[in-house]
Amino acid sequence: MTKSFEALVKNARHAMVVGIGGGGDVVGAIPTSRYLRWLGIPTLLGGLTWERYVNDPEPGPRKMEEIIDIELLSPTVGLANERTRTTKGIRFTESAVAEVLREKVALIDLNQGVQGVIKGLNEAMRKLGIDLFIGIDVGGDVLGEGTEKGLHSMLADSMMLAAMANLEVPTVLGVLGCCMDGELTFEEFNRQLAKIAGYGGLLGARCLTPEDIELLERVIPHTKTESSLLAVKAARGFTGEIEIRGGRCRVLMTPMSALTFYFDTRIVYEHISKVAKDLVPTKSLEEANEVLKRARLPSELDFERSFAWKKYLK
C-alpha cells in the first residue's frame, strides 16, 4: 500500500531537501524544508552548481574545482555559505539563500554523471547522518514526456531523478508551481499527474502557507528566480497569463500554481520518465547529454551552448 508524504517522512531524523533543476529551484525547496522543520525534522537545503544563463553565461554546471569557499563533503557535494562563488566571481543562488537564512546550503555537481551524483550524495549523507532525500522541481518539467512543445531543459531534472531512484536512503519527488517555468501546459501537467496517480504514486499536496510566503518573500528579492516568485503570487491570489523568460513564453497562473505535489520517486522513474533509467550508468555530463540526444529529448546544456538565450537578456 502506498504511504502518504507525511507517513514517509515522519520517522526521518535528518532530511536533505534539494532543488533538482538548478538555477532558482533551491528557492522552491524552501517551503518543503520549512514544513519538515515544523514537523520537527532538521533539514539541509540544497541545489545544483548549475546557474541559469541570466546569472552565469557559461554553459553547464560548475565543477567543484571551479568553486571558491565551499566545504567539500564528497567529490560532487559541498556546503556553500554566503561567500561561495565561482572562480570567475559568479555567486550561486544557494549562496544568497545561505546569507538570508544564515545557514549552509548544499551544492551538487552533475559533471561526473549520475554515477558521480549517486556516490557523492551517499557519501555526503552518511557523513551528515541524513536518512531522507527530497528533490523539488519548480515547474514540473521533470514529469515531461519529451514531446511537449515548451520543453527545453530535461537534463538536470532527469539526471537527478535517476540518482534519487538509486540512493541509499528513501526519497520523495516534489513539484512546486506547476507550469510556472513555461515548459508544460496545464493540460500536459494534469495528464502526467493523472498517470502518476493511476500508478499509486501521488503521495499528497501542500499549498504555500502564510509562513512560507513570508519566508520566500524575504529570500526571492536576493535571487533571479521567476517561477518560485510566480508560485508566491498565485498564493497571493493573482491569476491570469504572464510573460516570463524575457518574453520567450507565457504562463497561466492559477491557485493550483501555489501547490507542491509530492510523488513516489520510483513510480516517476519507472513509469513516467523515458530517459532516467538510461542515465543511471553515466559517468560524465557529456555522456548524460548524449543519452538525451539519442532519445531526441531537449537539453538545457545544448540550449545554453547554442547561444539562443542571448536575445532574452536584452
User: What are the tens digits of pLDDT across the range 35-66?
Assistant: 999 999 999 999 999 998 888 989 999 999 99
Beta strands in the chain (DSSP E): 15-19, 43-48, 67-74, 77-86, 105-108, 132-138, 171-176, 202-207, 240-244, 249-253, 259-264
Residues 6+ apart with CB under 8 A from 212: 30, 31, 34, 35, 235
Least confident of 119-128, 173-182, 268-277: 173-182
Q: Which residues lie closer than 8 Å to 124 by C-beta, 6 or more apart?
A: 73, 74, 77, 106, 130
Cell numbers linked to 273: 520518465
What was the pLDDT predicted at 307? Answer: 62
Q: Is residue 313 part of a domain?
A: no
Whole-number pLDDT of residue 104: 98
With respect to residue 207, please indicate whether it lies within any of the assigned structural domains. yes
Please indicate, yes or no, if residue 312 is contained in any of the structural domains. no
Question: Helices marked H in 143-284 — which ranges?
Answer: 155-164, 186-198, 210-219, 227-235, 265-267, 276-279
Q: What is the DSSP code (8-state) at residue 184?
A: S
Predicted confidence at residue 247, as pLDDT, reads: 60
Is residue 314 one of the residues assigned to a domain? no
| Residue-by-residue DSSP string for 102-141 | TS-EEEE--TTHHHHHHHHHHHHHHHHT--EEEEEEESSG
Widest Cα–Cα separation across the chain: 52
The answer to whether residue 173 scores a pLDDT higher than 60 is yes
> Cell numbers of 312, please?
532574452
Least confident of 108-112, 177-181, 208-212, 255-259: 177-181
Judge whether 114 lies within some domain: yes
Grid coordinates of 255: 491557485
**Percentage of the chain surpassing pLDDT 70?**
96
Domain of 9? 5-306
pLDDT at 190: 94
pTM: 0.95
311 in any annotated domain: no
State the Cα torsion 187-290-49-140 to the nearest 10°.
10
- 181 or 124: which carries more pLDDT confidence? 124
15 falls in which pLDDT band (50, 70, 90)? Answer: very high
Contact present, 175 and 260 (Cβ < 8 Å):
yes
Written as nine digits, the cell of 35 is 514544513
pLDDT tier at 1 (50, 70, 90 boundaries)? low
Give the C-alpha separation, 145 to 78, whole Å: 32
- Position 53 scores a pLDDT of 82
Task: List the grid coordinates of 73.
Answer: 563533503
Q: Tell me how many domains the chain contains.
A: 1
How do residues 236-282 score in pLDDT, each as one tens digit? 999 988 877 666 678 888 999 999 999 999 999 999 999 999 999 99
pLDDT of 245 reads 66
**Per-residue pLDDT for 93 more than 90?**
yes
Task: Please indicate, yes or no, if residue 60 is contained in any of the structural domains.
Answer: yes
30-34, 51-55, 209-213: least confidently modelled range: 51-55
Grid-cell match 551552448, residue found: 305
